[in-house]
């Protein structure tokens, strides 16, 4: 059980051999991984079938079913995510096969997303290695950089990060339309670009078959609410994983994997049911220490290593508050709101002082 008094975080990040302790949990269990396919992909397909059946009863019932169905699709996405890290099965071929199948359900091209996500894993919370367009929800500007923008650019930067736009309107557009093109993908990434087009063909084919069997509008009335809700849930989780109260962002000279994992990745302690739907991804500090740990072993890894207990746990209330934390204050070393950056006379010059420990 989490107990912040067990060990100070400053000692935890200095724990010798911490990453080697985590690697003991990297070995996947074929039986557990197979069972997870049943409880994610299998239950998701069954939930979709229930939604199609409910269309003959009441569309309100269909929309009610959309909530747990979307939760199951988040779980499918976690399966795809683990396959991308090569952590769900020992065989890379099986990981790629399962991940590619999941992409037909999540509408997220497997190889394309995997490559970009691995880039994220190379430099999260590193102020000198940010890709703002690609990593809209996991990165940010510093207050000084934000204030240096022109009035129009400042307005646009702020507008797309308004909670309604960022967490309600944009996520469905990303999954439905942006993932249909190889955005911000170098031409030399031929495999990743090809995965986008092949995924599009496969998705269109599946939808066409469903529409011929079940009806055009019936398919839209079921699939659109599910992907919309799933995208909102997934984006909210992804945003919280690196932009939250008590996170730390540093420059390249201070950055290292272990400290960035414990101080720049969240431990989101969810109620047990939500933890199940989200595939334990709330143990994100463990995931960044070793992406090869299967999601079903993240909690056991956290619980068994005392050094990890010093990481501050976030609850649902903290998650809602973190939505408005959008800028990094280098002087005070903390995430702040746009409103904080507008306070006249507040010192936001680049510095290294503050209450947070550096990475």
347: confidence class by pLDDT, cuts 50, 70, 90: low
Domain membership of residue 351 (yes or no) is no
Which positions ≥6 away from 225 have C-beta within 8 Å?
62, 63, 66, 70
Domain membership of residue 329 (yes or no) is no
Domain membership of residue 349 (yes or no) is no
What digits encode the pLDDT tens for the residues 262-277? 999 999 999 999 999 9
Q: Mean pLDDT for the chain?
A: 89
Q: How far apart are CA 341 and CA 147, in angstroms?
A: 8
> How many domains does the chain fold into?
1
Q: In terms of pTM, does the model score above 0.85?
A: yes
Domain membership of residue 357 (yes or no) is no
102: confidence class by pLDDT, cuts 50, 70, 90: very high
Domain membership of residue 149 (yes or no) is no
Query: Which domain covers residue 298, as residue numbers?
Result: 9-138+164-321
What digits encode the pLDDT tens for the residues 199-240? 999 999 999 999 999 999 999 999 999 999 999 999 999 999
Give me the pLDDT at residue 19, please: 83
C-beta separation of 62 from 54 below 8 A: yes
Domain membership of residue 197 (yes or no) is yes
* Most confident of the ranges 18-32, 42-56, 124-138, 327-341: 42-56
What digits encode the pLDDT tens for the residues 119-162? 889 888 999 988 654 466 778 899 999 999 999 999 999 999 99
* pLDDT more than 70, % of the chain: 89
User: What is the torsion angle, in degrees rounded to the nearest 10, for the CA atoms of residue 316, residue 319, residue 323 and residue 324?
Assistant: 100
Domain membership of residue 334 (yes or no) is no
Domain membership of residue 48 (yes or no) is yes
């Amino acid at each position: 059980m989490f107990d912040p008094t067990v060990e100070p975080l400053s000692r935890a990040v200095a724990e010798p051999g911490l990453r080697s302790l985590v690697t003991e949990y990297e070995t996947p269990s074929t039986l557990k991984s197979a069972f997870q396919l049943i409880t994610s992909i299998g239950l998701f397909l069954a939930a979709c079938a229930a939604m199609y059946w409910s269309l003959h009863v009441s569309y309100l019932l269909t929309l009610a079913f959309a909530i747990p169905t979307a939760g199951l699709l988040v779980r499918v996405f976690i399966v795809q995510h683990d396959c991308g890290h090569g952590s769900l099965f020992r065989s890379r071929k099986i990981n790629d096969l399962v991940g590619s199948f999941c992409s037909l359900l999540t509408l997220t091209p497997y190889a394309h997303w995997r490559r970009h996500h691995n880039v994220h894993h190379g430099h999260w919370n590193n102020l000198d290695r940010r890709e703002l367009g690609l990593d809209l929800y996991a990165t940010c500007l510093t207050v000084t950089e934000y204030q240096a923008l022109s009035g129009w650019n400042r307005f646009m930067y702020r507008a797309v990060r308004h909670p309604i736009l960022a967490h309600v309107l944009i996520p469905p557009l990303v999954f439905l339309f942006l993932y249909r093109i190889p955005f911000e993908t170098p031409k030399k990434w031929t495999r990743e670009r090809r995965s986008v087009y092949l995924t599009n063909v496969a998705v269109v084919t599946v939808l066409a078959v469903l529409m011929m069997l079940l009806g055009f509008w019936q398919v839209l009335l079921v699939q659109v609410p599910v992907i919309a809700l799933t995208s909102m849930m997934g984006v909210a989780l992804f945003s919280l994983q690196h932009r939250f109260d008590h996170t730390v962002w540093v420059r390249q000279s201070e950055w290292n994997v272990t400290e960035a994992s414990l101080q720049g990745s969240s431990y989101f302690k969810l109620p047990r049911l939500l933890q199940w739907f989200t595939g334990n991804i709330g143990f994100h500090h463990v995931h960044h220490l070793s992406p090869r740990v299967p999601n079903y072993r993240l909690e056991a890894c956290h619980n068994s290593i005392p050094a990890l207990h010093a990481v501050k746990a976030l609850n649902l209330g903290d998650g809602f508050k973190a939505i408005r934390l959008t800028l990094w204050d280098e002087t005070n070393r903390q995430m702040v709101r746009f409103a904080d950056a507008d306070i006249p006379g507040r010192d936001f010059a680049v510095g290294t002082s503050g209450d947070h420990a550096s990475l």
